[in-house]
Amino acid sequence: MGTAPLTVDFALRLASAAARVLAPEGGRVLIGKDTRVSGYMFESALEAGFVAAGVDVLLIGPLPTPGIAYLAQRSGCNFGVVISASHNLYEDNGIKFFDGQGSKLSDELETQIENSIDAPVLTRESQRLGKATRIDRLRTQYQEFCASTLPEGMDLRGFKIVVDCANGAAYKVAPRVLADLGAEIVPIGCSPNGRNINDGCGSTLPELLQLTVPGVRSQVGMALDGDGDRVVMVDALGRILDGDQLLYIIANDRLDRGVLQGPVVGTVMTNLGLEHALAARGVKLLRAQVGDRYVLSLLKESGATLGGETSGHILCLDKTTTGDGLVSALQVLAVMKRTGKSLAELAAGMKKYPQVLLNVRVARKFDPSSAPGVRATIAGVEQRFGGRGRIVLRPSGTEPVIRVMVEGEEAELVSSSAREIAAAVEAAAPPTDPARRSAAR
């Protein structure tokens, strides 16, 4: 952060380019952010670029990414902007956009903005400049919306909930929504200082949550990530439930009530146990590429409304337009309230298969499935699995790494098979530093 490509100068030019494409005749933009100290810097740069281009700016401060998507639509904005690096530590930052309908920008619009980045910064004449307004109180509209995704008349009285907000964007709204619904709240990761976002807390590091839930005798815990679009949950014994298990609970409940629409959408990394559990009830799991953009695209293509990723990025399109960690958690809490069952009982119908993910660092990106040695190794592993396992090889989109994922019913076979395939990939494309191959979380 602060070095190319994400600099103050870049943010200023990005705002100018986005204004040219998304609001060429002027308009309105909503800017939100998480709690990183650099957010103030980029917020000011974006504000200057938009105002100079004749776009009115609404500044709402820290708010979850899905809150910006919702309020951009609700406030009649041409588009919304979020300053966040999601689950990364505070040194990183990023900028993402939503259109006026609360959806991520199309590839075509993103390309148009990219092509305008190097143009001179647009500055309108004085009478056409935009103006900036702080609207911090508007966050209550998002809080009310989240609460409204529970069934009418339902509250959370009787629940004791540990909520971990990763010292991030949801540190105000998540505890308030849960408390307003009548739950007893034990907050952790709700004291941001600009530098502690995702630091030892949140959905990527839920160990503190796992200790706290049984420690305070809570029925359930939930951990959001830094920008609030992911959630994982913890049962009364401190056991983690990831996005696949939460997706199963929500889908199973909707199926019981006869309101599940279409198939369920996961990714190539979604645990095989979810696919088998859904199939046992006659529900098909469709697999998209990794990334919520691809999950959303397949949801729309298949006419489905429920999908998500193992990370806890869950999309309930009958409730909102994008992944929302708080809304997803509320759907699970609603099932607990309606059925009177614990989180562990609700997840018991899904057997989570052992899964191993290894990263093989390579000198250059390549297609590992094109290597004869890799193909032969995979064929041998598949024969041993006998149709009761899965292998996924995919290059990382951000670094020179091949990700090797193997899952199946027998943990030892899965582990040994993953190492065998990783070794074959390593042999096919010698890594730059073999010692850096490691199991990923």
What is the set of active-site residues?
Answer: 86
Rounded distance, CA 26 to CA 158, Å? 49
Torsion of CA 333, 409, 308, 218, to 10 degrees: 20
Locate tokens 């298949």: which residue?
A: 302
In the structure encoding, which two tokens stand for residue 44, read together? 């000011």
User: Across the chain, which distance is largest between two alpha carbons, in Å?
Assistant: 73
Rounded distance, CA 269 to CA 267, Å? 5
Rounded distance, CA 356 to CA 403, Å? 10
3-class DSSP state for residue 183?
coil
Rounded distance, CA 225 to CA 206, Å? 10
Amino acid at 364: R
Q: In angstroms, what CA-CA distances link 374 with 23, 71, 89, 401, 430?
A: 50, 49, 35, 16, 13
